[in-house]
Amino acid sequence: MVRLRPRPNRAILMAVAVCAALVVWLAAPPLAGAGFEQYFHFIGNDPDEADPGYNEDAQGLANDGDRWYVTQKDSDGECWVWRMLTLHGGGAVKKAMSTIPGLYNSIGDPCCYNYPPASGTWYLLVPMWNGSGQSLVAVFRGNDALDYVGSAALIDPHPQWIAVDPSGMVYTADFGDVSALTIYALDWSQLVYGNVAVTYQSSVALRDATGLPLSLSRIQGGEFSPSGGLLYLNCGMLQEPDGGFGLHVFETASWRRIARSSNGGEPFNYQFNNGGIFDEEPKGLTVWDRSVQGQLHVLLLDNDYPYSENDIYVKHYTSIIYADVNHSGTEDGTFENPFNTIQEALDFYGDCDFWTGAKIGLKAGAYPEALTFGTDKPVQVRAKGSPCTVGITGRFRFPVGAAAISIYSGGAVKLH
């Protein structure tokens, strides 16, 4: 066990200040499976039961780091892709999918990928299919014109979602009961020439937390975390029993499920009512670091009749639990309603057994608390906005900006 008992002197404060550009690892190496990419803290809906224009049978979400993309099918049966600055429809442009060769009348959850990575062109991949069991992935450039590049056939009859891992491999699955995901290779270098070449590679079996085979039904959306260490999937359908609906999170090193959302419980809450034909239906999702607005963003469709009366929710999730010693009022660990002690933030994290990679965001102030970090679960502590001091006998100073103290399980850090 590593114990840190800071004393109130300049030497310690200067040593901690050196951490301003470093991440300090204590007792164990970083988690496999992107531990701090566990976006399990629900922070709210925005839009919240709204009609932003794309609400008629909205299907999926994507982003290119600058714009949102939404897929939908309107009341006339036309499929569309929207590109916009805000989820409320600001700066929106849209493109009809009737320009794609063939009679593909259904559309799913899309995904964006940058090629060459980090410095190239953004491409939008859109899964589509028809009633005859034929399907394809349509590729567009991520610009306001949504220039159509081309398409390629898929072997999955009804691919409701598509996701791309950091290496450029493409994943999807059929819409029924599935126990494995389909993996395709896409020749990204050919897109600049208008050639979309997709080939089946293999499949990967899904497993539960113990390693046993796992089957999911009605997968509506999917996307990888930034490192590719986690895959988020969303399942659901109207008028079907909840036999596994909601969000599922898989660690891609083992393809074991590490988390599943609840329907109404905290903290990983994806609440919906799918009991009737005019009720709520889980849809697509995307991962985008929007700071205090969260990192995981998940669509929920509220079905009404006619289609034009549909509403949508976008539910937002983060890995961060906030604390502010100066806050009074409602406390739920969100940026707007932080806990007023660090201990409450740690307790909130500790109460969720499957959450093993939370971040504690500290707002400015002095936290006169005796604390122990990292006894059984990793935690990352970071000052947000202004420096913070923590402790009673001695004070540990958390600097601002890139500074973060990452404490891994088995290496308790005690502040007194």
Backbone angles phi, psi at 395, to 5 degrees: -115, 130
250-253: long-range pairs with CB below 8 Å, 24+: 250/206, 251/32, 251/33, 252/33, 252/165, 252/224, 252/228, 253/32, 253/33, 253/229
Q: CA triplet 52, 53, 55: central angle to 5 degrees?
A: 80
What are the pLDDT tens digits along the chain (416 aa)? 223 333 333 333 323 332 322 233 333 344 444 679 999 999 999 999 999 999 999 999 999 999 999 999 998 999 999 999 999 999 999 999 998 888 899 999 999 999 998 889 999 999 999 989 999 999 999 999 999 999 999 999 999 999 999 999 999 999 989 999 999 999 999 999 999 999 999 999 999 999 999 999 999 999 999 999 999 999 999 877 766 899 999 999 999 999 999 999 989 999 999 888 889 999 999 999 999 999 999 999 999 988 889 999 999 999 999 999 999 999 999 999 999 999 999 999 999 999 999 999 999 999 999 888 766 788 998 888 778 888 887 667 766 654 567 776 554 565 65
* CA dihedral sign, ordered 51, 57, 63, 67: negative
What is the Cα–Cα distance from 32 to 29, expressed in whole angstroms? 9
Question: What order of strands is seen across the sheet that includes strand 256-260?
Answer: 219-224, 230-235, 246-251, 256-260
Residue type, 334: T
- pLDDT attached to residue 13: 33
Neighbours of 170 (CB within 10 A): 24
Q: Where are the domains of the chain?
A: 10-37+320-415, 41-318
Q: What residue type is 21 in one-letter code? A: A
Answer yes or no: are the C-beta atoms of 233 and 223 closer than 8 Å: no
Q: Pairing state of beta strands 296-302 and 311-318?
A: antiparallel
- Listed in sequence order, the residues at least 6 apart from 59 whose beta carbon sits closer than 8 Å to its beta carbon are 70, 71, 72, 73, 107, 108, 109, 160, 220, 283, 284, 299, 301
CA distances from 108 to 10, 13, 394 (A): 58, 53, 55
Q: Which residues pair with 398 in a beta bridge?
A: 388
Cα angle at 408 between 405 and 409, to 5 degrees?
145
* CATH class of segment(s) 41-318: mainly beta
Measure the CA–CA gap between 254 and 208, rounded to whole angstroms: 10
- At 415 the pLDDT is 63
pLDDT at 386: 79
Distance CA 105, CA 131 (A): 8
State the Cα torsion 80-108-197-249 to the nearest 10°.
140
CA 282 – CA 273 distance, rounded (Å):
9
Nearest Cα to Cα of residue 134 among 163, 187, 174, 98: 174
Alpha-carbon span 75 to 200, nearest angstrom: 34
What is the distance between the alpha carbons of residues 371 and 318, in angstroms, rounded to a whole number?
Answer: 23
Cβ distance 46 to 316 under 8 Å? yes
pLDDT at 62: 98
Give the Cα separation of 253 and 297 in Å (integer).
23
- Cα 397 versus chain centre, distance: 31
